[in-house]
Amino acid sequence: MTTEPITNDNNLNQPIIQWGRAYLLSHGYKLKSDLPELVQDTPWSYVIRFVTYDGYVYLKHTPKLLALEADIINILQNQFHAHVPKIIAKNDELDCFLMKDAGKSLRGILKKNFSESLLCKTASQFTSLQIDIADHVDVFLNIGVPDWRLNKIPDLYKQLLSQKDLLIEDGLSEKEIKKLEMLLPTVTALCNKLSDYSIRETIVQPDFNDNNTLIEDLSQVLTIIDLGEIAISHPFFSLLNFLYQIQKHYGLTDKDNTYLTIKEACLHPFMASESRENVLHALELARPLWFVYGALAGYRLMIACGKENMMSFQHGKFIASLRDFMAECH
């Protein structure tokens, strides 16, 4: 993780920093430096860290429409005993919260010393949590987590395609939009087929991957982070992203034994309710819908962060998922 010092002349988030510093000082923390370090600055996430004599403390700010993360984390920790960051305090007016350090990025560790077993452990830990939560999704829906279950996805897809000006501005042609509209029956059919399996819908972290997993040096405890964009949908959408990321960052193909072992770890918990053959078939059905889910997640970010902010930061990424969906369906 790279950081840089924050100075008064290069930062527009002084009220957030001041709140974090004041809270820590008033609750017994001693700062090694009065200036925090910048960890991340994107349209959807501003993260800094304070260096204290008790270790690092992170402060995260998000746009108001994404400011559910602290509440989500507290539910995951208190009701499901999940390995998630420990919240120190939150400020609803400033849409930010303080959390304790939970270790280093797993990807940073694995780039130096690859470990198939750690990736398997990460996958198993997250999928087991998804299964535990499946009977309790209302807890999350009640605090405003989006309901993107399979029976809702066709209408959400249709609503997304109705935003033609936005889609064209981000790079889609009218011809491509027409093709996507013609794929609505395909979306509906895939959702219906996937719903036939006994795989319960639950929390989906759209960017579940080894870089959003932290590992503590001594205990080797794995902590899942970046939980503010969770929705309720099909669990395989998280797993497909995880598998894609390990292929991308570690040069694996879908035929490599290492990849197949990690894939098995992802899917094994679901084989308690379905045969291995059915689980593998469900994963294939979920793959094209994963791109639709990605487009919905991108649109959510666009609304939350502002069109101009998102397009200037990563123009075309939002509609890339829709192009991937078209390619997957041909």
pLDDT at 258 over 80: yes
CATH at residue 233: 3.90.1200.10
166's enclosing H/E stretch is helix 164-169
Q: Distance (Å, rounded) from C-alpha 99 to C-alpha 5?
A: 19
pLDDT at 8 over 60: no
CA nearest 130: which of 230, 244, 210, 216?
230
Out of 50, 73, 100, a domain closes at 100
Residue 330 pLDDT: 82
Residue 5 pLDDT: 60
pLDDT band at 9 (very low <50, low <70, confident <90, very high): very low
Q: Identify whether residues 178 and 194 lie together within a single domain.
A: yes
Output the average pLDDT for the chain: 95
How far is CA 13 from each of CA 46, 80, 107, 145, 257, rounded to the nearest angstrom? 9, 33, 29, 26, 47
How far is CA 294 from each of CA 190, 224, 286, 301, rounded to the nearest angstrom? 16, 19, 12, 11
Residue 317 pLDDT: 86
Q: Distance (Å, rounded) from C-alpha 291 to C-alpha 264?
A: 22
pLDDT at 6 over 90: no
Angle between helices 153-161 and 174-182 (to 10 degrees): 160
Give the pLDDT mean for 259-285.
Answer: 97
Out of 56, 72, 100, a domain closes at 100
How far is CA 16 from each of CA 6, 184, 196, 306, rounded to the nearest angstrom? 13, 44, 47, 20
Q: Identify whether residues 109 and 223 lie together within a single domain.
A: yes
Q: Identify whether residues 169 and 82 lie together within a single domain.
A: no
306 φ/ψ sector (left φ>0, alpha ψ -120 to 50, else beta): left
Q: Distance (Å, rounded) from C-alpha 176 to C-alpha 64?
A: 32
pLDDT at 172 over 60: yes
Question: What residues does 50 pair with on adjacent strands?
Answer: 57
Q: Three-state secondary structure along 71-130?
A: HHHHHHHHHHCCCCCCEEEEECCCCEEEEECCCEEHHHHHHHCCCHHHHHHHHHHHHHHH
Q: 153-156 long-range contacts, Cβ below 8 Å, gap at least 24?
A: 153/187, 153/191, 153/233, 153/289, 153/292, 153/293, 153/296, 154/184, 154/187, 154/188, 154/191, 156/296
Q: Distance (Å, rounded) from C-alpha 289 to C-alpha 325?
A: 8
Contact at 8 Å (CB) between 234 and 204?
A: yes
Over the stretch 156-166, which tens digit does the pLDDT of each residue have?
999 999 999 99
CATH at residue 62: 3.30.200.20
The total number of structural domains in the chain stands at 2
pLDDT band at 316 (very low <50, low <70, confident <90, very high): confident
pLDDT band at 3 (very low <50, low <70, confident <90, very high): low
Look at residue 319 and give its three-state secondary structure. helix
- Kindly give the pairing relationship between strand 87-91 and strand 104-105: unpaired
Q: Which domain holds residue 279?
A: 105-328
Q: Identify whether residues 80 and 26 lie together within a single domain.
A: yes
Give the pLDDT mean for 161-176.
Answer: 96
Q: Which pair of structure tokens corresponds to residue 226?
A: 């970046």
Q: Which of 8-12, 49-53, 57-61, 303-307 has the lowest mean pLDDT?
A: 8-12
Q: Give every CB contact of residue 270 below 8 A, 6+ residues apart in sequence.
A: 127, 131, 199, 235, 279, 282
pLDDT at 198 over 80: yes
Q: Identify whether residues 187 and 320 lie together within a single domain.
A: yes
Q: Identify whether residues 197 and 180 lie together within a single domain.
A: yes
**Tokens 């746009």, residue located:** 63
What is the DSSP secondary structure assignment for residue 201, as one 8-state letter?
-
What is the DSSP secondary structure assignment for residue 31, as one 8-state letter?
B
Q: Identify whether residues 96 and 112 lie together within a single domain.
A: no
Q: Identify whether residues 131 and 63 lie together within a single domain.
A: no
- Which sign does the torsion angle of CA 248, 116, 226, 104 carry? negative
Residue 227 pLDDT: 96
Q: Identify whether residues 15 and 123 lie together within a single domain.
A: no
Q: Identify whether residues 158 and 286 lie together within a single domain.
A: yes
pLDDT at 267 over 70: yes
CA nearest 294: which of 143, 125, 157?
157
CA nearest 51: which of 11, 95, 92, 6?
6
Residue 4 pLDDT: 65
Q: Identify whether residues 213 and 148 lie together within a single domain.
A: yes
Over the stretch 205-228, which tens digit does the pLDDT of each residue have?
999 999 999 999 999 999 999 999
Residue 12 pLDDT: 72
Out of 65, 100, 135, a domain closes at 100
Q: Identify whether residues 138 and 58 lie together within a single domain.
A: no
Q: Does residue 133 or residue 13 have the better pLDDT?
A: 133
